[in-house]
Chain A
Amino acid sequence: MTSFLQALIDATSAGAVYALAALGIGLVFGVLRLANFAYGEIITASAYTLIIVWPINPVLAVLGAAVVGVAVALLMNYAVFSWLRSQSAATLLIASFGLSILLQRIYEGIFGANVLSASVASGLSTSVNLGGVRLNLLSVVTIVLAAVLLVGVQLFLTRTSIGLQVQAASADFRIARLLGVRSGLVIAVTFAISGFIAAAVAFVLTVQSGTVGPSFGVQPTLFGLIGAVIGGLRNLRGAVVGGFVVGVALSLLTSWLPPEINPFRTAFVYLLVIAVLVLRPNGLFSAGAGKVRT
């Protein structure tokens, strides 16, 4: 029972990480129809900041990671994607592939191909005893962090004027512009938020691993993207739930698969993706008529 609860908390925590990644990817997809593969390199930039600055000053490291995440996201927008806005989704996708590889090579050039290590927030790696159940503190912090960010983004989208404009632009960019919604501003704000979320993902993952290399952000981005596709990229809420499902599935497979087939756990996740896409090509939460969108 205890191990079950522990596995459940760990699974929820893993789900929370990929839900955040899916949220960051889904927000940008909403306004730009861009499935940004280079999202991982925003995560990596924040992770490098955390690993390098943490031994000097932890507070500065966290603030720096957030600033770097937002800055790299904005830079991507202004340097690359804002020039391609009128191009097809395929062009944007390929551009993001290229950008992802380019940034990985740049990181390799600056920081080397090997991983850098530092113990980030090692206090969170301990377990706390809660009524006989030993809980990993980081799992709890991850869940709380994700919940705060999800609620924050939701409030931003529904309660603020600019958030409402992001929703309008996601639903129909052309009509939004006819209503006076500034396309450049809305896209920049969306990139900035997705960069901030990437920094949060980087924080959780660097505490977990204590290391960062040039391709650090690739895996969480891939799983976040897979989650977003499963949930329906055009439906932000669905994308978040999709990311969560992928994280939970990965974590449970890790816990429960027999050791001899455990290395193949990601194959099972891809199997799940194929099954979902065959049965519901527009995602699990596409809601038939396509009317319900957030």
Chain B
Amino acid sequence: MPEYPTMPESPENAATSSARPEPILDVQNLTVAYGGVTAVAGVTFHVGPGELVGIIGPNGAGKSSTLLALAGAVRGKADRLTFEGTSLLGRKPEQIARSGFALVPEGHHIFGALSVSDNLRLGEVARHGKGRGKEGLAATREWVLELFPILREFLGRPAGLLSGGQQQQLAIARALLSEPRLLVLDEPSLGLSPTAIDTVFEAIAAVQRAGTAVLLVEQRAQQTVAAAARTHVLGEGRITMTLGPADATDAELLAKAYLGS
């Protein structure tokens, strides 16, 4: 079992180490290369159950490649890459999605020709054969629509007619309907208005309060660092720095995180 440098353990309390919860997502030395070009060059981090972990960094830092490798959409190599103890390496995206891991990809990618309601139904596909039964599904639907009331108004409307912010809400709602234990978001605030960004960040906080772990990849450093237990700064495929919530007010540090030290 890997040990984490965050909590040194003396030999006598090693037996009670199960008190520290197993990470729900464990990434050790992940690399992703496209042809000869390395996009992710050995990234190590973890997400604990119910935790919100952030990843920030400039364009091309390897953020999306990291997430796509976790979701099985691109091939990655790693010393260890597990979700709830099961290796994600070599598994198909649909298998990973059905195991309680939901990725909201960058650019939300809703199905524009389908109704909002059908988009949400597609979110339930990954829930199939597990979850909390019919009553549980009704409760999840209700919770998701309370989280994003605007969607309830537009259920019968083609999703392509929604605004950018509404489409992002739909993409997150769709992912939540699979009742994931880890919600992974790739730049959910991209291209949204300030009001829409606030709605999305509030929803993310509510999801975490409900007990779902969240891995949030963002360009909006300040908001992410403030919300996350840990925020890893990614630059040129490597983690260059890890920040805590207290660093959110340190404008100089955030600027340095982005520009590279």
Contacts and interface: CB of A to CB of B under 8 A. Distances in A.
Q: Are A and B interaction partners? A: yes
Interface of A: 158, 161, 164-165, 167-168, 171-172, 174-183, 291-294
Interface string B108-149: 010111100010011111111000000000000000000000
Given A168-B111, A171-B111, A172-B109, A179 B121 contact: no
B105 interface: yes
Contacts of A182: 94
B71 A165 contact: no
Contacts of A292: 113
A177 B122 contact: no
A238 B84 CA distance: 46
Given A164-B122, A172-B111, A291-B113, A177 B178 contact: no
A178 B121 contact: no
A176 B118 CA distance: 13
30 contacts: A158-B118, A161-B121, A161-B125, A164-B114, A164-B121, A164-B122, A165-B125, A167-B114, A167-B118, A168-B114, A171-B112, A171-B114, A174-B73, A175-B105, A175-B111, A177-B92, A178-B94, A179-B122, A179-B174, A179-B175, A179-B178, A180-B125, A180-B126, A181-B94, A181-B125, A183-B92, A183-B94, A291-B113, A291-B160, A292-B113
B123 A179 contact: yes
Contacts of B151: none
Contacts of A181: 94, 122, 125
7 smallest CB-CB distances across A and B, nearest first, come from A180-B126, A180-B97, A177-B93, A293-B113, A175-B109, A180-B98, A180-B125
A102 to B, nearest CB: 30
A112 to B, nearest CB: 45
B214 interface: no
B128 A180 contact: yes
B178 A180 contact: yes
A183 B128 CA distance: 15
A291 B112 contact: yes
B103 interface: yes
Residue among B97, B111, B121 facing the most chain A CB atoms (10 A cut-off): B111
Contacts of A161: 121, 124-125, 128
B182 to A, nearest CB: 14
A178 B122 contact: no
Interface string B152-163: 000000001000
Given A178-B97, A178-B103, A183-B94, A294 B122 contact: no
A156 B109 CA distance: 24
Nearest to A175: B109
Contacts of B113: 167, 171, 291-294
A178 B71 contact: yes
Contacts of B105: 175, 178
Contact of B93 (A178, A291, A294): A178
Interface string B46-79: 0000000000000000000000000101000000
A180 B124 CA distance: 9
Given A180-B97, A183-B92, A293-B113, 9 more contacts: A158-B118, A165-B125, A172-B109, A177-B93, A178-B94, A180-B125, A181-B122, A292-B113, A294-B113
Contacts of B174: 179
A62 to B, nearest CB: 34
A181 B124 CA distance: 10
Contacts of A171: 111-114
A29 B175 CA distance: 27
Contacts of A165: 122, 125
Nearest to B114: A167
A167 B93 contact: no
Between A168, A176, A180, the greatest number of chain B beta carbons within 10 A of the residue's beta carbon is seen for A180
A180 B174 CA distance: 12
Interface in B27-56: none
